[in-house]
Structure 1
């Protein structure tokens, strides 16, 4: 299947043999394995067009990460807006992904805004997101904030 996607540009032709039988896990793997953000987005759009392929928050998270790594911020924001329109609720890892890609993309303030949104939703950063936030504060020279964040996070764990 992955070979077909590399060799055949037309998605109907490349994914046709598997038709409507792709599992959620297979869709996730297909998206994660794409070498270019354009192809990943094209496949994601194909899944949406084919109503037989239900997309879950994990698929959105995967594409958000791909777009963030490629620094395609307008596409990322559009996808976030689409999630809201489609009523696909973000989960802990969605916010962790956004914090991570914005931080690594050099947008520390935006990353911290995503952290605020996460906590306003009543979600607590997991260990991975906590480490990302600590690195973010450290990178910004905000050592006291990093310490306060870690203490608060540790107390609630």
Structure 2
């Protein structure tokens, strides 16, 4: 964020899918209007942040498909990865903070006790993220026992 000489006057944080990016608009009119407004009015003294559940690989694919501006900050993988600038330089401090009490093996062991958990694709997993599908009707049933189980390791 070296383009700012001082504090930002505005920080705009937006999701991408079905918020900033309208996948039903093949001409990307709303996105292009936003881009023009941001570039002409806000870029000089503001920070644009995109926050998405997408992993970095799918975020990069979306950037190739849609005319998305380069944000100052990109948050991907449901908040488990923060990167800066067009080069997507990872926030090492955030990685250290997440790593402090994170034990992937414990999470995998404990979630394996719940047969309704179906692991999402490998690309949806991350260094600090383990993702599953679960039938909606089973979610309430497993939340409390899983929380209790994980808390015993914490």
Name the TM-score, length of structure 2 as normaliser: 0.28
Bigger Rg over Cα = 2
Which protein has the bigger helix share? 1
Name the TM-score, length of structure 1 as normaliser: 0.28
Q: Which has the higher contact order (CA 8 A, sep 6+)?
A: 2
